[in-house]
Structure 1
């Protein structure tokens, strides 16, 4: 509401209306894709510089499905380009409005594709890394990369371009958002494990984890991949091996509160 009032006072209401319309259409793409895949949507927040769709899914959906939902937003910009071409062809809108729409559509599209969490580019970065690395490593590295890139763009904006308060505040906001996420990274990881415990993984593949009996159970969980079911093989002295299912390991952690136990202790108890 503050931005709307300021835009009316400064004569930039048309620019704000175009930006909000593009952001709404962008989030509509995410929403439609999420509904098609039966995601549980809590709310959608629209801001002047973008939007956020808050969902109940916490990295338990297949990576391929999350990629589709993520790309559905940027794809809307292609539709907007096509609509603008039609409007230009049949002269449905003034050239000044079309020029502004072309400009802001391009800026918002490119901005959202930056590899900075929680932008679409940052989500794609996490999803791509999740195909190669365990979830915790993929998530932590995504936050680190996001903070580094935010700082780089802040420096570039201050040194090589005329100072723009809105761009500076936006990049600073993204850096602080990732910094706060970094502080909460442990709880995000636990939320991932809890979602996996109650809902199970997306059973697309399987993976074997071989660990020493002295390995802490949380260190075992740090090796969990998305979209894979894990068979955990515990190596005891004398090269003796026992196996434990990941569900039993998660059950022991959350139900039995085995927070400080080693995987060897849990395996012996289970067997």
Structure 2
């Protein structure tokens, strides 16, 4: 999360702010500053305009945080690990390790966010009627905003809550994978319609449509990969008898190995134990005479032969790496790469298509 900053920890959940959030904060502050009631503070004095415009823009994302916290707390109730909440230009996202495949649980988690937004909207509306001046406008803006957030998130399109609500209903009548594919296709169709309207009327709607389309595509991809790769253990598809290097070898020798074997990374082994990994990125612009021990990465992510192939895929995707050493009893027993996983997926898809053609 290099492009984000951890700003707080609530209920054990790390809260991150992405740099893009500051763009929308400036935009919202300016919008509230120049707009009249009920969408801004232009009718107030200069000091009040600045004060309320700034804090109204902050409260918008505080409300988004409460929306995501509601998702997270319900998810944690079901045993889901929440790695954090990210606030960014399009809102927020609760980073959960895995969404439950139980339709009832997924429905509860998905509806928690919109329910929290509706509650904030209702309370804000009551407070706007009980106050006056800038305070009343502040709460009225909150009421409008949270109502829009709740309704927008119930649109049946990934990655919004409505996409998960739709899947939870469909998953009661069909497989989880089929439910995801239908929900993702509905989301893509909605994104295309939004994109067309956005192209002619509102550039922000076009950007949101792109976000929705990519989110739906990614959700379908992840669930499809899980369905395929969860059938296999890492030990079933890893490459055993791994070609490794030692810490005392030189960068020049590593370059020669890369040319010879066409691999871009090698485990570093000393006395039978994995001590690091060296990749092409590690040796770029480095003198050929330097030792591997000087340039290798020591904090190596590993996996065991008994873990599922999908777990390997998740680690590689989250950490943006291309390979994982396979370790058992502190000893290197193999290596698994992103290419191995993609080839397995292609082979299984071809086999499934062939079987479908024969049966039809």
Q: Shared fold by TM > 0.5?
A: yes
Alignment of 1:32-51 (within 5 A): 32-51=73-92
Counterpart of 1:64 in structure 2 is 104
Alignment of 1:128-167 (within 5 A): 128-159=169-200, 163-167=201-205
Query: Would the aligned equivalents of 1:58 and 1:192 in 2 still touch at CA under 8 Å?
Result: no
SS of alignment partner, residue 118 of structure 1: coil
Query: Would the aligned equivalents of 1:40 and 1:57 in 2 still touch at CA under 8 Å?
Result: yes
Cα distance, 1:180–1:8 mapped onto 2, change above 3 Å: closer
Counterpart of 1:241 in structure 2 is none
Aligned to 1:178, which of 213, 216, 222? Answer: 216
Establish whether residue 11 from structure 1 lines up as the match of residue 30 from structure 2: yes
Q: Which has the larger radius of gyration?
A: 2
Query: Would the aligned equivalents of 2:21 and 2:88 in 1 still touch at CA under 8 Å?
Result: no
What RMSD in Å do the two structures reach over aligned CA positions?
2.9
Counterpart of 1:75 in structure 2 is 115
Counterpart of 2:95 in structure 1 is 54
Cα distance, 1:89–1:182 mapped onto 2, change above 3 Å: closer
Query: Would the aligned equivalents of 1:41 and 1:55 in 2 still touch at CA under 8 Å?
Result: yes
SS of alignment partner, residue 84 of structure 2: strand
Query: Would the aligned equivalents of 2:122 and 2:143 in 1 still touch at CA under 8 Å?
Result: no
Equivalent residue pairs, number: 195
Query: Would the aligned equivalents of 1:20 and 1:48 in 2 still touch at CA under 8 Å?
Result: no
SS of alignment partner, residue 131 of structure 2: coil
Q: When you count helix as a share of all residues, which structure comes out higher?
A: 1
Alignment of 1:1-271 (within 5 A): 1-4=19-22, 7-8=25-26, 11-12=30-31, 13-60=54-101, 62-91=102-131, 94-159=135-200, 163-190=201-228
* In structure 2, distance between residues paired with 1:54 and 1:194: 26
Structure showing greater relative contact order (alpha-carbon pairs closer than 8 Å, 6 or more residues apart): 1
- Structure 2 runs not aligned, ≥5 long: 1-18, 32-53, 234-343, 352-360
The normalised TM-score by structure 2 is 0.48
* In structure 1, distance between residues paired with 2:61 and 2:83: 21
* In structure 1, distance between residues paired with 2:90 and 2:57: 10
* In structure 1, distance between residues paired with 2:185 and 2:66: 30
Query: Would the aligned equivalents of 2:121 and 2:144 in 1 still touch at CA under 8 Å?
Result: no
Give 4+ residue runs of structure 1 displaced > 6 Å after superposition: none
SS of alignment partner, residue 42 of structure 1: strand
Cα distance, 1:125–1:11 mapped onto 2, change above 3 Å: same
* In structure 1, distance between residues paired with 2:136 and 2:225: 50
Deviations 1:41-77 (A, max 9, x none): 22222223222222233444x2112211111111102
* In structure 1, distance between residues paired with 2:154 and 2:184: 15
Deviation of 1:181 (Å): 4.0
